[in-house]
Amino acid sequence: MHSLLHAAETSSAPSEADWLAVVVAAIAVIVAAVAGFYAKRSADAADKNVTAAERSASAAEVSAAIAKDSVSIAKDSAYASSVSANAAADLLRVELDRLHNEYEPKKNGEWLFVPHNRHPDHRWLQFRFKLDREYLVLATASATNDTVTTVCSVTPPGQPDDWWLVWVEDWSSDRDHSAWRELTLRFWPPQARVGRARPWNCVCGRQLDPGEGDTAAHWDFEVDVKPPESYDLMASLG
Ligand SMILES: [Zn+2]
């Protein structure tokens, strides 16, 4: 029995080479398992990353859409306020222009060129007119070629229904024609210092004061210089 056992032990005992093969195989299995485990884990992590990336991409899309909407809403409301601001400005402009037009000088009776004795022996060609409102008036006479002009002195009316007098030209010798072709009358709302006028304002935005006379007038008229041809008429008006 002993010998049999021994023989069996002897015959069944693995050789060193067999052990080595078993160990190598076991190590290979372990390595494969570990490798598999890590591969799985990185695959899972990659999945998670992909999902997270997908989620954050989708969140970014939503935010972008919201931002786009907000920009669009902001644009709409900016547009709406600019439209209403423009509409208000347009209405105001229309109203100011209407008031400006309402104040436009209107002829009150005839506008006449007459020779007039400014001094007892000094005759002048005078342009006289009446207005239904008080103004500040500047007058300029121009010659045919428009390059020669002169500023005419203007006498405001002493009473509300009196004549405005524009001293157009020295008419002391017996003359029947004027050196001037056109008279330009320029009107501003009156300032306190002008004659007896009570000041009032036009709100159109043009300057209220003519300054040195070169700012834009609120209104201007051009009148052809047409002295009366008949000295009888002149005598009757003089
Ligand atoms: Zn005006």
pLDDT in tens, 54-67: 777 777 787 788 78
Instruction: Work out the average pLDDT over 195-221.
Output: 84
- Ligand 1 centroid to residue 217 C-alpha, Å: 8
CA 139/CA 165 separation, integer angstroms: 10
Q: How confident is the model at residue 8 (pLDDT cuts 50, 70, 90)?
A: very low
- Ligand 1 centroid to residue 213 C-alpha, Å: 16
Instruction: Work out the average pLDDT over 18-44.
Output: 66
Enclosing domain of residue 129: 112-237
Could you tell me whether strands 112-119 and 164-170 are parallel, antiparallel, or unpaired per DSSP bridges? unpaired
Residue 189, Cβ neighbours under 10 Å: how many? 22
Q: Residue written as tokens 């060129």?
A: 113
Q: Tell me which of 75, 102, 129 is where a domain ends.
A: 102
Instruction: Please identify every residue whose CB atom is under 5 Å from ligand 1, which is an ion.
Output: 100, 202, 204, 206, 218
Q: Considering its fold, how many domains does the chain have in total?
A: 2
Domain-embedded: residue 215: yes
Residue 123, Cβ neighbours under 10 Å: how many? 20
Greatest pairwise CA separation for the chain in angstroms: 180
- Ligand 1 centroid to residue 190 C-alpha, Å: 12
- Ligand 1 centroid to residue 194 C-alpha, Å: 18
The overall average pLDDT reported for the chain is 79
Whether 101 has a pLDDT exceeding 90, the answer reads yes
- Ligand 1 centroid to residue 39 C-alpha, Å: 88
Whether 219 has a pLDDT exceeding 90, the answer reads yes
Q: Tell me which of 48, 74, 102 is where a domain ends.
A: 102
- 83 and 20 in a single domain? The answer is yes
Q: How confident is the model at residue 196 (pLDDT cuts 50, 70, 90)?
A: low
Instruction: Work out the average pLDDT over 80-90.
Output: 89
